[in-house]
Amino acid sequence: MNQRSSAPPSSGNVEFQVFRFALDPNNKQRGHLASHAGGARYAYNLGLEWLIDSLEKRRAGGSESTPNASEMHRRWNRWKKIPQNDAMWWSTNSKCVYQEAFRDLEHAFNSFVASRRRKRRGRRLGFPRFKRKARTRDRFRLTGHFEVDRRSVQLPKLGRIRIHENASRFASGIEFGRIRITSATVGREADRWYVNFRVARTTRPSCTPSFGAVGIDMGINALATLSSGLLVIGPRALKSNLKKLRRVSKAHGRKCHGSKNRKRTAAQLARCHSRIAALRRDHLHKLSTYLAKKHGLIVIEDLSIQAMMSNRRLARSIADSGWGDLGAMLEYKCRWYGSKLIKASRNFPSTRMCSGCGNVKDALPLSLRQFTCDHCGLNIDRDLNAAKNLARWPAVAGSAPETQNACGEDVRPGRSRAGLDEAGTEQPVLASGSEPIAQAVAFSCGSIGRGRRTGG
């Protein structure tokens, strides 16, 4: 029903977004999907062989240049037709699959080179590795013509595949040219196949935020404590499913390698992991959308999650809460909805500072859940105190010599204070410990669920 509109979305900033749908393929289609994933893996490994080969020749004194994606694709087109290579299966899959696999390899190699030359941020990357069937997630990318209607998607070579959700809104977005599909990545998670459509869209009309500035303290007991007094309890996806995960995992470990039973428990274990990830992702998406839409200015801590994870008593809880993902989601959603995200400096003592008088304590042990000020006598929930301090961060940063925050955004005092003044019109400031929790219950009944269901 829907045509891929060749024209780019109308004027305005183009943003890229991914829409994900769970596929509902029949058995024949399942085989076809697996074949595509296998083809992508094969091409990647073959390209890597060529790459290593050219590097070795160069090391031996040759002048060979490393093949890029298009060179690999040219080689592939010659290689696949040689009968000795026994690759007549290539035509069963879409040709994009191989092309995109070579692009992925090129990207992996370039990232490795950039990382080694310290021209790439983040952790150091290793040399691309061969993809083993048992250790690699089934995944491939398609480009070209796609069609989407209410109940199915049509992919190149694969044809029409039913989907689990109703995609009518997405389909009408394509039909009226609001969004344009640029590529589709199909992947398997546990026993379920998904398609991720990467779309170009004009920036959404920015929402008018109902509230002003808000500081968010991310914690373990409560996923997020807002300076307005709102308390958001996370679904604790892992914690609530840990018992089951342990049971399935142990059962899996007892099965003989290569047996049918082992295969069966492996699938069970994968489903369990996939469900935990889905629960967490769902909650974080709902929370981040709520925050980005409702608040004009959001201040979060610039946490070094990797460093905090080295505390082995807290690592599991930190990983389960998904602070990193929440920060990343807020970053792009704030851009979508026209709100502003600021990360407070790591040196800002948001936990140890009194939100009433600004007095800074030397230390506050993690076991103390209540903050009591020695100076003005304020007694307040520890996390709420930190969140309130974070909300004040832009003003603090503005008066400090540095006016750049962690995101590289300018935090000029004038603009930031305007945001703070708006905060006064938000919600009544809650100081007692019980009221925020009462609010949180109301909150969880609304847009953000607590994720009580624990069964698999």
Give 433 or 449: the residue with its C-beta nearer to Zn ion: 433
3-state secondary structure of 117: coil
What's the min distance (Å) between Cβ of 436 and Zn ion?
Answer: 19
Stretch that binds Zn ion, among 210-218, 262-270, 302-310, 351-359 (CB under 5 A): 351-359
CB atoms within 10 A of CB 337: 21
Of the candidates 53, 92, 95, 59, the one whose C-alpha atom is nearest the C-alpha of residue 76 is: 95
Stretch that binds Zn ion, among 194-202, 269-277, 368-376, 423-431 (CB under 5 A): 368-376
Residue 269 as a binder of Zn ion (CB under 5 A): the answer is no
| Chosen residue from 88, 328, 368, 376 binding Zn ion by CB under 5 A | 376
Q: In 97-132, which positions are buried (b, 16+ CB within 10 angstroms) versus exposed (e)?
A: bbbbbbbbbbebbeebeebeeeeeeeeeeeebeebe
What are the backbone dihedrals phi and psi of residue 134, each rounded to the nearest 5 degrees, phi first? -75, -25
Asked if 49 and 75 touch (Cβ cutoff 8 Å), the reply is no
Give 170 or 371: the residue with its C-beta nearer to Zn ion: 371
Residue 360 as a binder of Zn ion (CB under 5 A): the answer is no
Give 304 or 379: the residue with its C-beta nearer to Zn ion: 379
Question: Rounded CA gap, 411 and 7, in Å?
Answer: 38
| Chosen residue from 373, 380, 386, 440 binding Zn ion by CB under 5 A | 373
Question: Rounded CA gap, 242 and 236, in Å?
Answer: 10
Asked if 179 and 200 touch (Cβ cutoff 8 Å), the reply is yes
What's the min distance (Å) between Cβ of 432 and Zn ion?
Answer: 17
Pairing type for strands 179-189 and 159-162 reads: unpaired
Sequence-ordered strand ranges (E) for 259-310: 295-301
Stretch that binds Zn ion, among 47-55, 76-84, 279-287, 358-366 (CB under 5 A): 358-366
Query: Tokens 């390899």 sit at which residue?
Result: 105
Give 311 or 359: the residue with its C-beta nearer to Zn ion: 359
Residue 384 as a binder of Zn ion (CB under 5 A): the answer is no
List active site positions.
Answer: 217, 301, 383
Of the candidates 384, 419, 365, the one whose C-alpha atom is nearest the C-alpha of residue 230 is: 384
What separation in angstroms does the CA of 163 have from each of 59, 148, 197, 202, 211? 50, 10, 13, 26, 38
Q: What angle do CA 268, 237, 213 make, to 5 degrees?
A: 150
At 302, list the tokens.
Answer: 């610039």
Residue 375 as a binder of Zn ion (CB under 5 A): the answer is yes
| Chosen residue from 1, 18, 357, 429 binding Zn ion by CB under 5 A | 357
| Chosen residue from 144, 156, 356, 449 binding Zn ion by CB under 5 A | 356
Of the candidates 304, 353, 285, 419, the one whose C-alpha atom is nearest the C-alpha of residue 409 is: 419
At 448, list the tokens.
Answer: 């953000």
What's the min distance (Å) between Cβ of 407 and Zn ion?
Answer: 29
Stretch that binds Zn ion, among 3-11, 317-325, 371-379, 403-411 (CB under 5 A): 371-379
Of the candidates 365, 405, 344, 357, the one whose C-alpha atom is nearest the C-alpha of residue 385 is: 357
Give 206 or 359: the residue with its C-beta nearer to Zn ion: 359
What's the min distance (Å) between Cβ of 240 and Zn ion?
Answer: 38
The site for Zn ion, by CB under 5 A, has a size of 8
Give 344 or 373: the residue with its C-beta nearer to Zn ion: 373
Give 356 or 451: the residue with its C-beta nearer to Zn ion: 356
Residue 354 as a binder of Zn ion (CB under 5 A): the answer is yes
Give 91 or 359: the residue with its C-beta nearer to Zn ion: 359
Query: Taking CB under 5 A as the criterion, which residues in 27-46 touch Zn ion?
Result: none
Binding mask 297-336 for Zn ion (x = CB under 5 A): ----------------------------------------
| Chosen residue from 210, 359, 399, 404 binding Zn ion by CB under 5 A | 359
Given the rule CB under 5 A, which residues bind Zn ion?
A: 354, 356-357, 359, 373, 375-376, 378
